[in-house]
Amino acid sequence: MTAGNVCAFTIQQCNPSICQVRIDFLTLTLAQPNAHGSCIYDSMNIIGGATNIPPICGENSGLHLYVDFNGNSNIRIVISTSSDASVPKAWKLKIAQIACDCPTRAHMYEALARKRFYGLSPSGCLMHYTDLSGTVRSFNYGTTVSSYLLPNGQPGTRQLANTNYGICVEMVAGYCGIQWSQSSDIYSFTVSGDTSTAVGQGIIGTPASFASGADCTTDFIVVPNPLVNGVPTRTDRFCGNGLPTLTTYSKPFVLTTVTNGDELPDSGNRGFALSYTQLRCTNIIVVVNDPVSTDVLGRNEFYQVIDVIKKLNIMDTMPVSTDVLGRNEFYQVIDVIKKLNIMDTIHDLIIKNIEKYVCNTVVVECWMCIAGANSEAENFQNFHKAMVTLYNYYLLLSNIFNNLELLCVTLKYRSTTYYQNSTDALKVIFRSALLSQLPLDYKKSVRHFYEVGLKYEENRGRESLDELCSNCSSNNCICAQYFYEANSILLELGLLEPLASQILTTTIYDYIENHVETTCKDRFDASFLAPLQKWLEDVIIKWLRKIYTCDYSNKEINKFNKKLQNFMYEIYTKVRINQLFGIIIEYPDSISALQDLKTCLSKTDLRPYLTRKLQKSMETRLLHTGVSTPDILTAYVATIRSMRVLDPSGLLLGAITQPIHQYLRSRDDTVRCVVSSLTEEGPSDLADELIKGEALQTDENTPSDDEEINWENWLPDPVDADPNKPLAHNRRTSDIISMLVNVYGSRELFVNEYRTLLADRLLTSLTCDTEREIRYLELLKLRFGDAQLHYCEVMLKDIVDSKRITQNIKQDLSSSGESDIPISSMILSAQFWPAFKEEKCELHQSVDEQMKKYTACFETLKGNRTLYWKKHLGLVDLDIELPDRTMNLYSVTPIHATIILHFQDKSQWHLDELSKIMQVPPTVLRRKIGFWESQYLISQVSPDIFQLVEVSVKGNLNVPHEIIVEDESESAMASTQDQREEELQTFWSYVTGMLMNLDSLPLERIHQVLKMFAFQGPTTECSLQELKHFLDRKVREHQLVYSNGYYKLPKS
């Protein structure tokens, strides 16, 4: 570009999010302004932005400026040059656009280091620096004079006229102040006045040549609220030809420079180049402690100030004396402070010093006390010591604070920067210092402290005071005193809440838990709710009241009390729930525990927990193979009874007994056990239940009237009830026997089982008490109804009748004189008895004959009726006379009797021989003979040869080891399984008929057809599974062929 031309750039916003442009003058060399300071030769104008920027000329390389965009209009840089080509002109600009949301500081340091982009400059700052220290320059400052001379021959000015801009320094974190000073060049602050004169007088660059305040009217800089040598200057504008070092703590750090429209009266001004350094926040003390200049203050006054400060006890080390100042001195001091207006500084200084002292000394010392303790007692002592140490310091420091407060009040000074309320200030300082340096194990320490306190409190109620304290193990226990002392310190310093309340709460919780657990461990026979409540009130709440003394209103304590009660209930409930299985087993001794639990359940929401827990313990302790069925039943009955106490609605019962039901269903002998416990005096007292119970209601839904009568006692269903299932039904079935019967869900099964058991009992014991059986039968009838038990009635009548008949026949027989074997019999109506186990057995001839006689008698007694003997059944009483002894045997089975009778005839038998005569299979017979072997009456002399032993030679007798004693409890009745088999057999003809006509059929189809034609009545129902078993057995027996899922008859 040739001289005299204009060069113009246009900066367009790259996008609407751009707010600012930073223009770096990498090189900007233009002609110097004229003597008036105006850029009339060369000039750079930046226009179109929101920032007003003076025309710039002269040497400005290395400077920068920020321009705000005005909306979205472009910014233009217009550089116009004079035609004077002898003046060098050069420019190289770097332009960066800055987005509006670009951070001003923070991670900008890093970005700046890479010189990639810049942060926004705060508005009003034409230049913006971010370093900790550096140099700022006014436009066109230079180390040489301007080449243009004034009319008087003096050198012209370099300072540009008509400027008013801010130079900002970004405050770095941790830095509170900034210090401005001239750079090394003595001309580095030549802003107004005649510079050459100052040079001539030799005072350039010294404080002697600077002016301030009202003296600065034309060109000056402004630094807000500066201090010179730590003393406020009372002015903020500076001009002239020298600048003292200025320190300011006013934020933001800004230096404003102002020049008027004409620089002519001044000569040789160059502007300024000032070094700045940001000051660390703590430097304030150094500033005051290290006064260099006493220019502003009088020398005496200054020392007075120092004296004051010393008397106020705020120096780094803790002074010994804490005397309040003497009256005279005090007023003297106040005068000085007033005069110097340094209350602000002093106040800050004192607070700062105290903070530092508390942080570095007091707190460290306090926490040191706690460290390293192991035992509870040690911790207790240490914590107390720590608190006392803390409090002593607090008292010491509060003296200073009182002085300060007095000072403030007298001077009517009100600090804005620190604490609003100076009485709390010290506490706040202590609190924040303590909490900011919490040691790792303070919790343990605090916890131990309160535990000891609590223990002591509880023991106080129990033992006399002179007894040994468990903590300090001294006769003269001062633990309580210690405790309350430390506690009141915590309270006074406001530390109780932040430091201890949480730990206190958990300590109390743990303590309650512990207490509850130890109190009601394994004791179910007493109610603990009232004692526990009393304990809580007497020990814990009382203690809490003491701890909080006046701090807490009664309302707060009550609130806490409620919370603790709730917690105690919850713990107690949990403890009881965990013991619930034991409680149930011990019912009814544990009734008070159950009552407690009931009360608790209504206050807590632990029902689901109870259900889960109890089910679990049932599973682990009851419902496994190791427990016999009667035991399970006993537990089950106890459960039902306990649950009735616990929850009259029956809902819990339903949930808890579900698994037991399921399990009982999977056991074969459940029904048998239920029935036998119903009719016998057992541990489960079911018989009693039977006596008091009313009619069984298994599947009736008719609501009873008593609900309407007792409407006042009505309670809503519990919240966890399923609204789809009416509860009335559940309530009804909580009758124990109904529930037991409902385990299987069918009365028939029950009645059948009862019939079998009854038959067994009647046939195996002659002494059977029919009176009692009839009574039970009547009771059962009440529940199961007449129809179901009709058969049993007939059975009992048979027994009674046969006694009478036997009596008759015996008379007949004895009158005819042939009664070598007295025979009696039980004459049964076969149709009404359960099926008998069929065993073939021929009795001894003599007995047989006698039986025939008996039959004949019967036939004459009851016309047209005869008897069929079940020869293997019955009981025989016999005496065996041996040469050396007589054996009396009662209730021997007919087979046994027959065997011994045969041996009476012939003393040695071969097994096969005997088997043939008795028509009993040899294996069975061998088993039966075993009985006599065990009586030492028969011995096996060689394989399968048995010999009667008339004279027992005990000791010498070679008793065979493997005497097989048959198990006694053999039922006379066919097992239910056999009976079932029998029933299924009736279907066989249907099946063969079907297969003959249709060749082959799948299982499902056979079942379907049977369902249609063969299954009539509920008992003859047969499940698919059962049918499959049946058919498969037939396949094994080669009566059926099974292939590809089809059954067919084998081809014959």
Partner 1 sequence: MKVIIKNWTGVATWKWIANDDNCGICRMPFDGCCPDCKLPGDDCPLVWGECSHCFHMHCIMKWLQSQQVNQQCPMCRQEWKFNNK
- For the bound state, the minimum distance from the C-beta of residue 887 to partner 1, rounded and expressed in Å, comes to 10
Say whether residue 881 binds partner 1 (CB under 8 A): yes
Which is nearer to partner 1, 869 or 1015 (by Cβ)?
A: 869
C-beta closer to partner 1: residue 106 or 861: 861
Residues whose CB is less than 8 angstroms from the CB of residue 875 and which lie 6 or more positions away in sequence, other chains included: 764, 766, 891, 892, 893, 894
The DSSP-derived string for 123-173 is TTEEEEE-SSEEEEE-TT--SS--SSBPTTS-B---SPSS-EEEEEEPPPT
* 830 lies in the site for partner 1, by CB under 8 A: yes
Q: From the list 227, 653, 847, 918, which residue makes contact with partner 1 (rule: CB under 8 A)?
A: 847
Minimal distance, residue 753 CB to partner 1, in Å: 21
> Least distance in Å: CB of 914 to partner 1?
16
Binding mask 966-1005 for partner 1 (x = CB under 8 A): ------x---------------------------------
Nearest in space to 226 (alpha carbons), one of 296, 165, 290: 296
Q: 136: closest CA among 183, 173, 90, 91?
A: 183
In Å, how far are 173, 336, 383, 470, 479 from 377, measured between CA atoms? 46, 54, 10, 9, 10
Q: Minimum distance from CB of 523 to partner 1 (Å)? A: 54
Least Cβ distance, residue 879 to partner 1 (angstroms): 4
Cβ density class 909-948: b for 16+ within 10 Å, e for less: bebeebbeebebeeebbbbbbbbbbebbbbbbeeeeebeb
841 forms part of the interface with partner 1 (CB under 8 A): no
Q: Least separation, in Å, of the C-beta of 706 and partner 1?
A: 34
Region near partner 1 per CB under 8 A, out of 131-139, 598-606, 613-621, 853-861: 853-861
Residue from the set 186, 875, 1014, 1049 that interacts with partner 1 by CB under 8 A: 875
Q: Which is nearer to partner 1, 351 or 873 (CB)?
A: 873
For residues 600 and 526, give the distance between their C-alpha atoms in angstroms, rounded to a whole number: 15
Which residue shows structure tokens 């198990």? 967
User: What SS3 state is found at 32?
Assistant: coil
Query: Residue 75: phi, psi to the nearest 5?
Result: -110, 135
794 near partner 1 (CB under 8 A): yes
**Which residues are within 8 A (CB) of 1043 and not within 5 positions of it... i.e. 6 or more apart?**
none
Q: Which of 193, 230, 894, 930 binds partner 1 (CB under 8 A)?
A: 894
Of the pair 863, 1018, the CB lying nearest partner 1 is at 863
Min dist. Cβ of residue 870 to partner 1 (A): 4
Backbone φ and ψ for 646, nearest 5 degrees, come out as -70, -40
Output the smallest distance, CB 593 to partner 1, in A.
Answer: 50
Q: Closer CB to partner 1, residue 487 or residue 825?
A: 825
Query: To the nearest whole angstrom, how small is the minimum distance from the Cβ of residue 965 to partner 1?
Result: 21
The residue from 851, 911, 924, 1049 that contacts partner 1 (CB under 8 A) is 851
Measured CA to CA in angstroms, residue 750 lies from 674, 742, 1016 at distances of: 9, 10, 20
Adjacent-strand bridge partners of 491: none
- Of 312 and 763, the one with the shorter C-beta distance to partner 1 is 763
Stretch that binds partner 1, among 254-262, 275-283, 695-703, 846-854 (CB under 8 A): 846-854
Asked if 774 touches partner 1 (CB under 8 A), the answer is no
Give me the least distance between CB of 959 and partner 1, in Å please.
19
Whole-number Å distance between alpha carbons of 915 and 925: 7
**Position 900 contacts partner 1 (CB under 8 A):** yes
With beta carbons less than 8 A apart as the criterion, state whether 1026 and 984 touch. Answer: yes
Stretch of 286-294, 774-782, 854-862, 962-970 lying at the interface with partner 1 (CB under 8 A): 854-862
Cα–Cα distance between 955 and 444 in angstroms, integer? 77
**Which residue, 702, 700, 606, 704, is CA-closest to 647?**
606
Gap between the Cα atoms of 917 and 48, Å rounded: 138
Q: 685 or 801, CB closer to partner 1? A: 801
Closer Cβ to partner 1, 318 or 851, answer by number: 851
Piece of 140-148, 199-207, 323-331, 862-870 that binds partner 1 (CB under 8 A): 862-870
Encoding tokens for residue 1? Answer: 């570009």
The residues near 271 (Cβ < 8 Å, ≥ 6 apart) are: 137, 138, 139, 140, 141, 158, 159, 160, 190, 191
- Cα separation of 848 and 842, whole Å? 8
Min dist CB 958 to partner 1, Å, is 20
Which 3 state secondary structure label does DSSP give 357? helix
Straight-line distance from the first to the last Cα atom of the chain, in angstroms, rounded to the nearest whole number: 127
Under the binding rule (CB under 8 A), the answer on residue 108 touching partner 1 is: no
Provide the minimum distance between the beta carbon of 657 and partner 1 in the complex, in angstroms, as a whole number.
37
Instruction: Give how many residues touch partner 1 by CB under 8 A.
Output: 56
Tokens standing for residue 1026: 């059962």
- Cβ neighbours of 1033 (radius 10 Å): 13
- Residue 801 interacts with partner 1 (CB under 8 A)? yes
Please state at what angle helix 736-744 crosses helix 670-679, rounded to 10 degrees. 150
- Cβ closest to partner 1, residue 541 vs residue 973: 973
868 binds partner 1 (CB under 8 A): yes
Q: What distance in Å separates the CA atoms of residue 332 and residue 335, rounded to the nearest whole number? A: 5
Does residue number 359 form part of the binding site for partner 1 (CB under 8 A)?
no
User: Pattern of binders to partner 1 over 810-829, x per CB under 8 A?
Assistant: -----------xxxxxxxxx
Q: Does 838 bind partner 1 (CB under 8 A)?
A: no
Q: Does 766 bind partner 1 (CB under 8 A)?
A: yes
State yes or no: residue 870 binds partner 1 (CB under 8 A).
yes
Residue with smaller CB distance to partner 1, 184 or 866: 866
**Does 857 contact partner 1 by CB under 8 A?**
no
DSSP string, 715-779: -PPPTTS-TTS-HHHHHHTTSHHHHHHHHHT-HHHHHHHHHHHHHHHHHH-TT--HHHHHHHHHH
CA distances, 959 to each of 123, 815, 939, 964, 966 (Å): 121, 46, 8, 12, 17
46 belongs to the binding site for partner 1 (CB under 8 A): no
Query: For partner 1, which stretch binds (CB under 8 A), given 12-20, 41-49, 566-574, 791-799?
Result: 791-799
Candidates 367, 511, 784, 903; binder of partner 1 (CB under 8 A) is 903
Nearest distance in Å: CB 607, partner 1:
50
CA dihedral 549, 550, 553, 557 (to 10 degrees): -10
**Strands of the 6-11 sheet, one edge to the other:** 6-11, 75-80, 43-47
- Residue 876 lies near partner 1 (rule: CB under 8 A): yes
Question: Cα(602)–Cα(599) distance, rounded to whole angstroms?
Answer: 6
Q: Does 877 bind partner 1 (CB under 8 A)?
A: yes
- The yes or no reply on residue 897 touching partner 1 (CB under 8 A) is yes
Stretch that binds partner 1, among 58-66, 210-218, 510-518, 831-839 (CB under 8 A): 831-839
**CB atoms near residue 96 (< 10 Å):** 15
Q: CB 738 → partner 1: shortest distance, Å? A: 26
Site string for partner 1, 924-963 (x = CB under 8 A): -------------x----------x-x-------------
Member of 280, 339, 616, 790 binding partner 1 (CB under 8 A):
790
Asked if 198 interacts with partner 1 (CB under 8 A), we say no
Residue 511 to residues 30, 444, 575, 955, Cα–Cα distance (Å)? 86, 15, 14, 70
Distance CA 679, CA 777 (A): 9
Site residues (CB under 8 A) for partner 1?
763, 766, 790, 793-794, 797, 801, 821-833, 847, 850-851, 854-855, 858, 862, 864-871, 873-882, 894, 897, 900-901, 903-904, 907, 937, 948, 950, 972
